[in-house]
């Protein structure tokens, strides 16, 4: 088994590293540890916009990254440790999460934390979740990865994942929001993610004495950064990969009541319909047609709004007021 500690706190890099290691180390067992700066990690089959508070995320410059595995959306920051096991497919039951959560539970139990596996894939302490886990099978290997909330900013977590469920009608898998807690409440106050890494590595080594530390080479880092740039930093992967959905929103502004309905496929607006009691000198259908083919992306829509005379369609309005219809 190779023990790898990521040199980066960039979520794009770390999520890309999972895929890189999967394809470039086809036969080796790997135990990867990483910590991400503030970021939201979205399950592969989820509708990203339906999982995040987009305005808050943009304001706080929180990265949004889609991972390879299914499951729900999670928030990462420097108070959260992430672990990832890579093994050959078929060595373990794919549906059993207990094998690779056991080292975490054993480590914590030794420290006096009454942690346990509950349900299919969550680790709880006193009925509150501190770790969610997900899996994927690909290229003859299996990855099981999970989070450990140590001292995460719970207010940011709550605000970043606070989305209005009435905006979206789709069949995408929705995250279940659980009661969560930080382990710092159960561990010495000075405990850091680095200390947690050390404890977890010690536990792994105790059961895998042949395991050895592996440092990512310059070639590895270059390969990960290439994948990061070409895939994990792109709008197409993080937002455009989302399943088909219908988006609807209404705003009340001085110019009147405006309601919008969008049909979005792979992040691209295919149909748009606007209703309301506003006064327009030009047919609203002309504005609707200009939305077709645009990404359901605030920046792209904002550029469109700035390029046309909105007063012809809505009366006395601002770009900012109409922009709010789309988020």
Start-to-end CA distance of the chain, whole Å, equals 45
CA-based nearest residue to 294, from 247, 252, 259: 247
What's this model's pTM, rounded to 2 decimal places?
0.86
pLDDT of residue 278: 87
pLDDT of residue 231: 97
Measured at the CA of 249, the angle between CA 247 and CA 255, to 5 degrees, comes to 145
pLDDT of residue 294: 96
Q: Is the dihedral of CA 269, 274, 280, 284 positive or negative?
A: positive
pLDDT tens over the chain, length 327 residues: 999 999 999 999 999 999 999 999 999 999 999 999 999 999 998 999 989 999 899 999 999 999 999 888 999 999 999 999 999 988 877 778 888 899 999 999 999 999 999 887 889 999 999 998 999 988 899 999 999 999 999 999 999 998 777 677 776 767 776 689 999 999 999 999 999 999 999 999 998 889 999 999 999 999 999 999 999 999 999 999 998 999 999 999 998 999 999 999 999 999 999 999 888 889 999 999 999 999 999 999 999 999 999 999 999 999 999 999 998
Give the model confidence (pLDDT) of 195-214 as tens digits: 999 999 999 999 888 999 99
pLDDT of residue 99: 85
Number of other CB atoms surrounding residue 286 within 10 Å:
12
Q: Which residues, in sequence order, are CB contacts of 157 under 8 Å at separation 6+?
A: 75, 77, 180
> Residue 44, by phi and psi: left (phi above 0), alpha (psi -120 to 50) or beta?
alpha
Buried b / exposed e across 34-55, counting CB within 10 Å, b at 16+? bbbebbbbbbeebbbbbbbbbe
pLDDT of residue 173: 67
Q: For the chain, percent helix, then strand, then coil, each to nearest 5?
A: 35, 30, 35
Q: Could you tell me the two tokens for 299?
A: 């920046």
pLDDT of residue 128: 92
Q: Is-contact 140 89, C-beta < 8 A?
A: yes
pLDDT of residue 177: 66
């Amino acid at each position: 088994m190779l023990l790898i500690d990521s040199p980066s706190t960039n979520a794009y890099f770390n999520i890309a590293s999972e895929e890189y290691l999967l394809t470039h180390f086809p036969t080796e067992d790997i135990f990867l540890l990483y910590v991400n700066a503030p970021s939201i990690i979205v399950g592969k089959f989820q509708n990203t916009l339906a999982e995040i508070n987009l305005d808050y995320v943009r304001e706080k410059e929180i990265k949004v990254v889609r991972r390879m595995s299914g499951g729900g959306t999670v928030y990462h920051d420097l108070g959260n440790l992430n672990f990832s096991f890579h093994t050959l497919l078929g060595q373990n039951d794919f549906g059993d999460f207990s094998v690779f959560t056991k080292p975490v539970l054993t480590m914590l139990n030794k420290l006096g934390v009454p942690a346990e596996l509950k349900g299919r894939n969550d680790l709880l302490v006193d009925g509150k979740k501190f770790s969610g886990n997900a899996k994927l099978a690909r290229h003859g290997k299996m990855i099981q990865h999970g989070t450990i909330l140590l001292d995460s900013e719970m207010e940011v977590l709550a605000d970043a994942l606070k989305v209005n469920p009435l905006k979206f009608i789709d069949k995408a898998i929705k995250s279940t929001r659980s009661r969560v807690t930080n382990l710092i409440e159960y561990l010495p106050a000075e405990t850091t993610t680095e200390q947690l890494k050390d404890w977890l590595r010690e536990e792994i080594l105790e059961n895998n004495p042949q395991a050895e530390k592996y440092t990512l080479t310059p070639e590895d880092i270059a390969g990960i950064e290439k994948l990061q740039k070409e895939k994990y930093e792109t709008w197409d992967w993080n937002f455009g990969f989302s399943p088909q959905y219908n988006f609807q929103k209404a705003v009340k502004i001085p110019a009147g009541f405006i309601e919008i309905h969008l049909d979005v496929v792979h992040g691209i607006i295919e149909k748009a319909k606007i209703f309301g009691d506003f006064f327009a000198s030009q047919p609203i259908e002309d504005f609707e047609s200009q939305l077709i083919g645009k990404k359901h992306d605030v920046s792209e829509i904002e550029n469109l709004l700035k390029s046309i005379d909105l007063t012809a369609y809505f009366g006395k309005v601002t770009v900012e007021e109409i922009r709010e219809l789309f988020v």
